[in-house]
Chain A
Amino acid sequence: MSDRITGLIVAVLALAFAAGASQLEEPFFADPLGPKAFPLLISAVAFLAGATMVMRPDAEPAWPGLATLTRLAIATVILVAYAYALKPLGFLLPTAIASAALSYQIRPRAGQSVIIGLALAGGLFVIFKYALGLGLFALPRWLMG
């Protein structure tokens, strides 16, 4: 079933891609092929491949259970939050929290995760800042003045 659904999504995306390509304005002085042809070619191949997947699906993959899916979703949220926090809050704080949270997702032991988070934040900061010379801010900007 997963393969059939994926195939369907691919086929629809291919059509959308083709529609997007065909709406491109053909510039006045274009080469014989223009900017549309290659994207249209890609979408044709993708459509065929998607249709094949709908027609001839493989065996169903082993999807993780609800508990694992929740952990994966939490991990994704952590990563997104980390991406937004890195600039305003500096390196150390978000890195310690995010690494601790990630390691908790892999092995749920709170004390150990906190230590791992602190150690990784400190260790990586020293490597990045002093060994590689990256211009990282350690702390939130407003604290650094």
Chain B
Amino acid sequence: MELFANLALGFSVALSPETLALAVAGCILGTMIGALPGLGPSNGVAILIPLAFSFGLDATHSLVLMTAVYYGAMYGGRISSILLNIPGDEPAMMTTLDGYPMAKAGRAGDALVLSGVASFVGAFLATIGLMLLAPILARVAFMFGPAEYFALYLLAFCTLGGLGSNNQAKAAISVCLGLGIAMIGVDKSTGLTRFTGGSLHLFDGVDFLVAIVGLFAVAEVFVFIESHGRDSAIGVKLEKIRIPVKDIMNSGWTMLRGTGIGFVAGLLPGAGASLGSFLAYMLEKSTARDKSTFGTGEPRGIAAPEAGNNAAAGGALVPMLTLGVPGSGTTAVLLALLMTLNITPGPLLFTERPEVVWGLIASLLIANVVLLILNVPLVRVFSRILQVPAAVLLPGVTMISFVGIYSLSGSYFDLLLMIGFGVLGYVLRKLSIPAVPVILGILLGGHMEVSLRRAMVLSDGDWTYLFASPISIGLWIAAVAGFILPLFLRPYLRTPARVTPDDDADRDRG
């Protein structure tokens, strides 16, 4: 019955007019961000965080606002996937496989409604999963000492590197880059300054918000300039919206399966929503009796990845809140938000700040209902946003990033650093080195070093202490497996080719 007491506390926070207004505003903003081609949850949340601070919101309120934006962007991402064949970010990619062909076949409205319902099923059930599982995991997390935390961080980097990239060496470079940047500044346990090159600006280290906005938002500007914004403004006309009852009924089990897989994928530290939508789609395709309809506008091929990626978004909040280890780029951004608000995620958060955790969970339940309304009956309104041309959108995003970072510190140095991270992000993207591990490295590097050093203090320098408990041995095994296994699984884990507008001509002929 503790759960109900907690939920009651949560709803008492979530139903206060101010929190409710922020949740609704976050949903609307998030859906808009998700619908904009080229913007997704991670860069959308990244550029808004500095503004949330300058707005002067307290911890619960900024967390509610930002997670509502996060969920909203996950929902909204499907709009540009389906209508333009442009995923807002990686998790939305699987939805283009069947969504765009279905829209081209004149069923754009059906595809949007179906995917909206699938998103709701995935996100709502995952939020309930979060509600049930997080308190249990938080209790387990009390048994974690520094050795276990060190192994846990290692696990996060290994699975992120193994699953999130096609080349382990590149993922490792990305992690090291992040960890190396995290070492800059004053070493807290000795008071020694490290790697600052004598620059006073670097004494406090590199602010992770500067890195996040640079790598996610400013880098996007360069990518757009290169692509000339040529991708925008082609697409499919949206006819009258009606509810495709038959498709929804037919894909009921698909949505539930997608939700289950997505939630579990989200729980894995470092794996997140991309893996969730990918596995959900592949499972659906491999178990279907008639595989040939997949890729040509199969409704179940839309329901599965949408349920999967939205469920993963909820699942990814579990390790983020209970252990402080994010499962994806966006949860890394949310972790940055928490850390800047001076909230340390982890088991203590559940016992000491229950109003934050349960207020968030209750707000997410409400946000999902709001999002269902926004994304099914009102989807036509949001599909208009797709017409915003890149030549307006990108300068706008840049200016918001600049003002956001400038309002945090008021220093040009941070702005220049942000531009530097933007250039770095562009180069990394060109070399197909993933950028998310850099963020995770900067965020977790300090904690990882501290837990290693604490473990060594406890054991008086004995390295075997790192493998002394069953939990840490399990984590080490999982970490090694997460890094190495994808090498062997890679041939089976290939993404099906996306329909590009150029391919359509060939397809129509054949």
A1-59 residues with Cβ-Cβ distance < 8 A to B are 2-3, 6-7, 10, 14, 17, 20-21, 24-25, 27, 30-35, 37-39, 42-43, 45-46, 48-50, 52-53, 56, 58
| A136, CB-defined interface residue at 8 Å | yes
Q: Are B403 and A116 in contact (CB under 8 A)?
A: no
A17 CB contact (under 8 Å) in B180, B187, B398: B180
Which interface class (under 10, 10 to 19, 20 to 34, 35 or more) fits B?
A: 35 or more
Does B496 lie at the interface of the complex (its beta carbon under 8 Å from any beta carbon of A)?
no
Nearest Cβ distance between residue B51 and chain A, in whole angstroms? 6
Chain A residues contacting B391 (CB-CB under 8 Å) are: 103, 106-107, 112-113, 116
Please give, as numbers and ranges, the residues of chain B lying within 8 Å of A95 by CB-CB distance: 399
| A32-B461, A116-B392 known; A80 vs B419 contact (CB < 8 Å) | yes
Which stretch in B222-230, B278-286, B341-349 binds the other chain? B222-230
Within 8 A of A (CB), among B376-405: 389-392, 394-396, 398-400, 402-403
Known pairs A39-B194, A87-B412, A124-B400; list 15 more (Cβ under 8 Å).
A2-B430, A6-B431, A38-B453, A39-B195, A42-B176, A43-B180, A46-B172, A50-B173, A72-B222, A75-B225, A95-B399, A105-B225, A106-B224, A119-B392, A134-B403
Hey, which chain A residues are within 8 Å of B432, CB to CB? 58, 61
When the two chains form their complex, are residues B221 and A39 in contact, meaning their CB atoms are under 8 A apart?
no
* Nearest CB in chain B to that of A116: its residue: B392
Q: Are A98 and B399 in contact (CB under 8 A)?
A: yes
Asked whether B430 lies within 8 Å of A63 as measured between CB atoms, the reply is: yes
Q: Is the CB of B169 within 8 A of A52?
A: yes
Return chain B residues, CB-CB under 8 Å to A117. Answer: 395
Interface positions, chain A 86-145, Cβ under 8 Å from B, are 86-87, 91, 95, 98-100, 102-103, 105-107, 112-113, 116-117, 119-120, 124, 128, 132-134, 136
Q: Which residues of B contact A46 (CB under 8 A)?
A: 172-173, 176-177, 180
Output the nearest chain B residue to A69 by Cβ-Cβ distance. B226
Closest to A128 in B: B403
| Given contacts A6-B431, A45-B172, A120-B395, A83 and B225 within 8 Å (CB-CB) | no
Determine the distance from Cα of A133 to Cα of B225 in the docked complex, in whole angstroms.
32
Q: What is the bound-complex CA distance between A14 and B169, given in angstroms?
A: 14
Q: What number of residue pairs across chains A and B have CB atoms under 8 A from each other?
A: 182
CA of A107 to CA of B390, assembled, Å: 8
- Complex: A64 Cα to B225 Cα, angstroms: 11
- B467 at the A/B interface (Cβ < 8 Å)? no
Bound Cα distance from A21 to B172, whole angstroms: 20
Q: Is the CB of A24 within 8 A of B192?
A: yes
With known contacts A39-B183, A133-B54, A79–B406 Cβ distance under 8 A:
no
Per the bound structure, the CA–CA distance linking A107 and B64 in Å amounts to 37
How far, in angstroms, from A13 to B276 measured CA to CA in the complex? 35
Inter-chain contacts of A84 with B (CB < 8 A): 412
Chosen A-B contacts, 26 in total, with CB atoms closer than 8 Å, are: A27-B192, A33-B453, A33-B461, A34-B190, A39-B194, A42-B176, A45-B175, A46-B172, A56-B169, A63-B430, A71-B226, A72-B226, A80-B416, A80-B419, A82-B402, A98-B395, A106-B224, A106-B228, A107-B389, A107-B390, A124-B399, A124-B403, A128-B403, A132-B51, A133-B54, A133-B56
